[in-house]
Amino acid sequence: MNIQHLIEKYELNNLEKQIVSYMQKNISQLKSIGIRQMAKDNYTSTSTIYKLCNKFGFKGYSDMIYHLTSAKDTTINFNEKYLDYKKEFSSLMSDKSKRIIVFGLGFSAPIAEYIQQRLTLMGYQALCVVHMEMFSQVFFENTLMIVISYSGKTRRLSEIVTTASKNNIPIISFIASKESPIYQDSTLPIIIGKYDSFLHDNSKPNFFFGETIIAFETLLFD
């Protein structure tokens, strides 16, 4: 829970800030804390708690508690799921002087743009590349590459990854299978879900792209 973000977004008063801080400190026990207990612990009334719930856009107290505790549980699950990648990911991302090239084609392109913008906001020198021609010799020095590809079987993508690997550029890839053609050339291949060739007919939900963003956000923060 980012308290400062909530304070700025909802223009919380001092009492509301106190209640939010209370919830953060007691996040693991929230499910067992009723609205009367929360009001008592913060020297206020239940109506004040209800007003805060409404201010945050929740239907009521139970809805708010469910949202906060469910979000917490989800974060823990993803932290565990991607724990094995955490150390090397942090190591590769530790030098902010490096130029980071983020590459994705097709449905992966908007994910690449999201990652590039996220990194830029955090002070990294990130560039989203969507054309082979942009990947020139100027990028070969002090560069890190991040690739997003569900199948990894796009010829142009494979060429770019192979070129980067031959020039000793570290590569972080978000892919769906160890059988992906770019797996071997990746310094840190991060497996997201499981590749299913039948998903390309759009007849089934494809969670790869959404989970790639979740994995990236999970790995980016300690």
> Can you give the CATH number for the domain in which 46 is found?
1.10.10.10
Q: How far apart are the first and last CA of the chain?
A: 14
How far does Cα 86 stand from its chain's mean position? 13
Q: Are both 137 and 44 inside the same structural domain? A: no
Q: Select from 28, 57, 80 the last residue of a domain.
A: 80
Residue 60, amino acid: G
Q: Are residues 42 and 95 in the same domain?
A: no
Helix axes 208-220, 61-81, angle to 10 degrees: 80
Residue 202, pLDDT score: 56
Same domain, yes or no: 51 and 25: yes
Which residue in 99, 89, 109, 219 sits closest to 157, CA to CA? 109
- pLDDT (average), residues 72-87: 69
Two structure tokens written together for 2: 């980012």
Task: Indicate whether 76 and 88 sit together in one domain.
Answer: no
**Same domain (yes/no): 130, 34:** no
Domain end, chosen from 45, 80, 115, is at 80
Last residue of a domain, which of 65, 80, 95?
Answer: 80
Burial class (CB in 10 A: 0-12, 13-18, 19+), 138: exposed
Tell me the pLDDT of the chain averaged across its residues: 85
What is the per-residue pLDDT for 10? 85
- Number of residues that this document lists for the chain: 222
Q: Are residues 130 and 177 in the same domain?
A: yes
Residues 104 and 127 in one domain: yes
Q: Work out the percent of the chain whose per-residue pLDDT is above 70.
A: 85
Domain enclosing residue 156, as ranges: 83-220
Question: What average pLDDT score do residues 192-206 get?
Answer: 61
Integer Cα distance of 207 and 179 in angstroms: 19
Interatomic CA distance for residues 184 and 59, integer angstroms: 49
**Confidence at 140, pLDDT banded by 50, 70, 90:** low
DSSP H helices in the chain: 3-10, 14-25, 35-41, 46-55, 61-81, 83-92, 108-121, 155-166, 208-220
Residues 97 and 123 in one domain: yes
87 and 19, same structural domain? no
- The domain that holds 165 is classified in CATH as 3.40.50.10490
Q: Which amino acid is at 107?
A: F
Same domain, 66 and 145: no
Are residues 139 and 115 part of one domain? yes
Which pTM does this prediction carry? Answer: 0.65
Asked whether 177 and 208 are in contact (CB, 8 A), the reply is no
What local confidence, expressed as pLDDT, does residue 123 receive? Answer: 92
C-alpha–C-alpha distance, residues 212 and 136, integer Å = 27
User: Each residue of 46-68: pLDDT tens digit?
Assistant: 999 999 999 998 999 999 998 88
Count: domains in the chain: 2
- pLDDT score of 18: 95
Query: What percent of the chain shows pLDDT beyond 90?
Result: 50
The sign one gets for the Cα dihedral 75, 77, 81, 87 is positive
Question: Angle at Cα 176 formed by Cα 146 and Cα 215, nearest 5°?
Answer: 55
Do residues 22 and 113 share a domain? no
Tell me what the mean pLDDT of segment 114-137 comes to: 81
